[in-house]
Homo-oligomer: A and B are copies of this chain.
């Protein structure tokens, strides 16, 4: 069995839901836009199609698109029989698909660094690098899952917001879902409250899909119900993802996160983010310096292609919000759970990472 066959054998494990994989000389992935109503597997055999899939968000989630970038460089190497210049061009094309996706840049660059020489040697080096990145990512998710699951007690109901799961990562559980599935597999009797996450409904569509797939008990709520649920003692813990964590622990995540955090403080519900130590941006002092991306009005005013408001209605769409560190109980990372004082304890993490 070749090294690539071994890697694919690993990815076919029933415990994984890989967002993208290699099969019969092609890349295959689940079109996440169609979930949960169709599990449509798309097949691409050239780099242009893959770039299109990333641009159109058929593949989404920072971990998943990073890995897709690495796979894309591998596909270009195979198709060009290891032509170095072609491989580098493919890397640049892939990086251009989502210009603000830091993880995609990093992963493609790391793969290109391995692109030494030409021909079969180059293909082999990239193959090894892709396997290394993928195994490292799976290992990261397992470690993060262990640290997070240690917090969760038998009988708890855990709330999450948006989607931070297997299909957004390498296939094990991404960030939040790694914590939840690890606790569940430890035999803990847990239930998950999934907030639907308007406007794009990632919670209702994709998080609920993964809960169902793994048989984890869950219920859906609208985003505006968490305060009531907490006032009734129906939520024991909240775990959300993060798009970016500032040096002081302030957290940018999908819009709505902040309001859940305010209600959590009011009702003494522990509030965590599950993230990677690489998501902490030590160059950003606090949440105030994080620019919040605004998106199109029509993403709010249309659901499933149908309008929900009078014609001409202009909606606002700040796509994430900032949760200040004083509302956080802890930051779950692959290296352990960080608690207050966040600035000091994150700095220690940074020092470790740099040594």
Q: Give me the interface of A with B, judged by CB distance under 8 Å.
A: 36-37, 193, 196-199, 201, 204-205, 208-209, 212, 218-229, 231, 255-256, 258-259, 262-263, 266, 292, 297, 300-301, 303-304, 306-318, 321-322
Q: A225-B318, A300-B220, A301-B220 given as contacts; is B259 within 8 A of A310 (CB)?
A: no
Cβ-defined contact, A219 with B316, below 8 A: yes
Cβ-defined contact, A306 with B309, below 8 A: no
A82 CB to nearest chain B CB (Å):
43
Copies in the complex: 2
Q: Which residues of B contact A227 (CB under 8 A)?
A: 256, 258-259, 262, 321
Q: Does more than half of chain A's interface fall in helix, strand or loop, or is it mixed? A: mixed
Q: How far is the CA of A328 from the CA of B186 in the complex (A)?
A: 45
Q: How far is the CA of A227 from the CA of B224 in the complex (A)?
A: 11
Q: Which residues of B contact A196 (CB under 8 A)?
A: 198, 300, 308-309
Cβ-defined contact, A316 with B221, below 8 A: yes
Q: How far is the CA of A317 from the CA of B309 in the complex (A)?
A: 22
Q: Which residues of B contact A228 (CB under 8 A)?
A: 255, 258, 292, 318, 321-322
Please give me the residue from chain B that is nearest to A297 by CB atom: B220
A35 CB to nearest chain B CB (Å):
8
Please give me the residue from chain B that is nearest to A37 by CB atom: B307
Q: Which residues of B contact A292 (CB under 8 A)?
A: 228
Cβ-defined contact, A310 with B36, below 8 A: yes
Q: How far is the CA of A3 from the CA of B326 in the complex (A)?
A: 65
25 A-B residue contacts at CB 8 Å? A36-B311, A196-B309, A197-B224, A198-B222, A198-B224, A201-B308, A204-B313, A208-B309, A212-B313, A219-B314, A220-B297, A221-B300, A222-B256, A222-B300, A225-B318, A225-B321, A227-B256, A227-B258, A227-B259, A227-B262, A227-B321, A228-B255, A228-B318, A259-B262, A304-B304
